[in-house]
Copies of this chain bind each other. A is one copy, B any other.
Amino acid sequence: MTKDLLIRNVRPLGGAPTDLFICNGRFAEGSTEHEEMRVLDAAGQIALPGLVEAHTHLDKTLIGMGWYRNEVGPTRNDRILADRKAKRALGIDARRQSARQIMQTLRFGVTHIRTHVDVDTEIGIANVNGLVATRDTFSGLVDVEIVAFPQSGMLVREGTLALMEEALKAGADIVGGIDPASIDRDPVRHLDAIFALADRYGKPIDIHLHEPGELGAFCLDLIVERTRTHALEGRVMVSHAYCLGMVEARRQAALIDALAASRIAIMTVGSPSAPVLPLRLLRQAGVVVASGSDGIQGTWEPWGSGDMLERAKFLAQRNGMTADSDLEATIDVCTFGGAAGIGLADYGLSQGCHGDLVLVGAETVAEAVALTPQNRTVIRGGRILVRDGLPSEDLPHVA
For chain A, which range describes its interface: under 10, 10 to 19, 20 to 34, or 35 or more residues? 35 or more
A371 & B303 in contact (Cβ 8 Å cutoff): yes
- Cα of A319 to Cα of B270 in the assembled complex, Å: 14
A314 & B366 in contact (Cβ 8 Å cutoff): no
**A303 contact from B317, B318, B319, B324, Cβ within 8 A:** B317
A135 located at the interface, meaning its Cβ lies under 8 Å from any Cβ of chain B in the complex: no
> What is the total number of copies of this protein in its complex?
2
B70 & A323 in contact (Cβ 8 Å cutoff): yes
Q: Could you tell me the distance in whole angstroms from the C-beta of A321 to the nearest C-beta in chain B?
A: 8
Give residues of chain A (250-276) contacting chain B, Cβ–Cβ below 8 Å: 270-274, 276
Q: Could you tell me the distance in whole angstroms from the C-beta of A67 to the nearest C-beta in chain B?
A: 4
- Cα of A363 to Cα of B271 in the assembled complex, Å: 26
A370 & B74 in contact (Cβ 8 Å cutoff): no
B70 & A324 in contact (Cβ 8 Å cutoff): yes
Known A-B contacts A302-B327, A303-B313, A327-B302; the reply to A318 vs B272 at CB < 8 A is yes
Give residues of chain A (296-337) contacting chain B, Cβ–Cβ below 8 Å: 297, 300-303, 313-314, 317-320, 322-325, 327
B318 & A71 in contact (Cβ 8 Å cutoff): no
Q: List 11 A-B contacts (CB under 8 A).
A: A70-B323, A70-B366, A71-B323, A74-B320, A270-B272, A273-B319, A273-B320, A302-B324, A302-B367, A302-B370, A303-B317
Q: Which residues of A contact B (CB under 8 A)?
A: 66-67, 69-72, 74, 270-274, 276, 297, 300-303, 313-314, 317-320, 322-325, 327, 362-364, 366-367, 370-371
